[in-house]
C-alpha cells in the first residue's frame, strides 16, 4: 500500500465516472444490488475484458478517503519502511490479468493505531522513477472499525475505497481479479473485480500510465505502527487457485513454478510463508 496523506478527503459516492472504466463502445454497466447474496459458486471464467460485459455490474464504494478518518483518533500511516512486511510473491515478467481466492481472517490489528493488514492482488508499473498501481483485496485497518472490508486503492485517484455492502467475516473466501482494458493516450484502464452474487462486480477502473501488461503481485501485507512497535498476531491467511493471463485475449494459466517466473518475499522475523503449490496456493502467518 502507498503512504497516505493526513488530510481528510471524502469523495461523493454518486457519479464516480472513473469506476466504470469501460471499453469506449461498451454499454454502461448496471449498478450492483446494494445487498446481493453471497456467491453460490466459484467463477467459471475470468471477468469481462472486452466491449461485452455480459452479466457484470458496477459497485459503488460506501466510503472513499485519501486520509484521516472523520474522528481525530489517528490518520492512515505515512511511509515508514520499517513498518511494512510484504509476504508473498511478484511476477518477474508482465501479465494482463490475475485472479484467485483470498481467505478473510481476523488479525490482531490494534485499534487506534496505524496498524493494518491487507491481503491483495496488485498490478504495478514503474513510470519515470515512481511506482503506479491498482490493488484490490480485503483489509483490516487500525484507524477504522476493527472489521474486515473489501477495498481498492490506486495511484491515479490516490484514495482508499471500501465496499461495506459486501459483508465479510473471519473464515470467508472471496474471489477477486485485476485485468487490463482499453488503452488510450493517457495509459490503460485497469479494472478490479469481485465475484459476488454469482457475477463479476466491478469495483474500480482507473487509468494507469502503463500498458496492458505489467508486473503482478500477490501479498499478505502487514503494517506495524512504528510508534507502537511490537507486533500483532496474524492467523494463517490463505491465498489459493491463483492464475494469470499472459496477454489480453489469452486464457488463464496457473501461477506456478516454473511456468511463471517469480520473485518471492524476503524472510521476515516472526512471520512464515507456507507454499503448498508454488506459487498458486499458499498462506502467510505469524510464527
Where are the domains positioned within the chain?
17-286
Q: Which fold has domain 17-286?
A: Jelly Rolls (2.60.120)
Contact 81, 266 (CB under 8 A): no
Q: How far is CA 134 from CA 41, 153, 207, 271, in A?
A: 26, 6, 9, 25
- Global pTM value: 0.88
The alpha carbon of residue 257 and the mean position of all alpha carbons in its chain are separated, in whole angstroms, by: 23
Per-residue pLDDT at 80 exceeds 70: no
Average pLDDT over residues 233-262: 98
On the question of pLDDT at 153 being above 60, the answer is: yes
Could you give the percent of the chain with pLDDT greater than 70?
84
Mean pLDDT over 127-154 rounds to 96
Whether 1 has a pLDDT exceeding 70, the answer reads no
* Structure confidence at residue 66 (pLDDT): 79
> Residue 91's closest CA among 117, 123, 118, 120?
123
31 vs 199: CA distance, rounded Å: 12
Cα separation, 105 vs 108, in Å, equals 10
Give 233's Cβ-side CA count (13 Å radius): 5
Handedness of CA 80, 123, 162, 100 (dihedral sign): negative
Q: How confident is the model at residue 20 (pLDDT cuts 50, 70, 90)?
A: very low
Q: How far apart are CA 259 and CA 278, in angstroms?
A: 10
Q: State pLDDT tens for residues 214-243.
A: 999 999 999 999 999 999 999 999 999 999
pLDDT tier, 75 (very low <50, low <70, confident <90, very high otherwise): low
> Exposure of 277 by Cβ count < 10 A (0-12 exposed, 13-18 middle, 19+ buried)?
middle
pLDDT greater than 70 at residue 7: no
Amino acid at each position: 500500500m502507498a503512504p497516505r496523506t493526513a488530510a481528510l478527503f471524502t469523495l461523493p459516492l454518486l457519479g464516480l465516472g472513473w469506476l466504470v472504466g469501460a471499453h469506449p463502445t461498451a454499454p454502461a454497466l448496471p449498478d450492483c444490488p446494494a445487498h446481493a447474496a453471497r456467491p453460490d459458486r466459484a467463477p467459471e471464467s475470468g471477468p469481462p475484458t472486452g466491449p461485452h460485459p455480459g452479466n457484470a455490474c458496477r459497485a459503488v464504494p460506501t466510503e472513499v478517503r485519501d486520509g484521516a478518518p472523520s474522528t481525530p483518533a489517528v490518520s492512515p500511516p505515512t511511509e515508514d519502511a520499517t513498518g511494512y512486511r510484504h509476504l508473498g510473491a511478484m511476477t518477474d515478467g508482465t501479465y494482463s490479468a490475475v485472479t484467485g481466492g483470498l481467505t478473510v481472517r481476523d488479525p490482531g490489528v490494534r485499534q487506534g493505531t496505524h496498524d493494518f493488514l491487507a491481503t491483495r492482488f496488485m498490478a504495478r508499473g514503474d513510470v519515470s522513477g515512481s511506482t503506479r498501481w491498482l490493488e484490490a483485496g480485503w483489509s483490516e485497518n487500525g484507524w477504522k472499525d476493527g472489521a474486515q472490508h473489501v477495498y481498492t486503492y490506486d495511484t491515479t485517484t490516490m484514495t482508499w475505497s471500501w465496499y461495506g455492502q459486501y459483508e465479510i467475516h473471519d473464515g470467508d473466501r472471496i474471489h477477486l481479479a485485476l485485468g487490463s482494458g482499453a488503452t488510450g493516450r493517457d495509459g490503460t484502464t485497469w479494472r478490479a473485480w469481485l465475484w459476488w452474487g454469482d457475477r463479476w462486480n466491478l469495483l474500480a477502473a482507473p487509468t494507469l500510465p502503463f500498458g496492458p501488461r505489467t508486473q503482478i503481485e500477490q501479498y499478505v501485507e502487514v503494517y506495524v505502527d512504528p510508534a507502537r512497535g511490537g507486533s500483532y498476531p496474524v492467523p494463517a491467511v490463505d491465498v489459493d487457485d491463483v492464475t494469470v493471463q499472459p496477454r489480453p485475449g489469452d486464457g488463464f494459466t496457473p501461477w506456478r513454478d516454473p511456468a511463471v517466473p517469480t520473485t518471492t518475499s524476503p524472510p521476515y522475523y516472526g512471520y512464515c510463508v507456507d507454499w503448498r503449490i508454488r506459487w498458486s496456493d499458499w498462506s502467510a502467518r505469524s510464527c
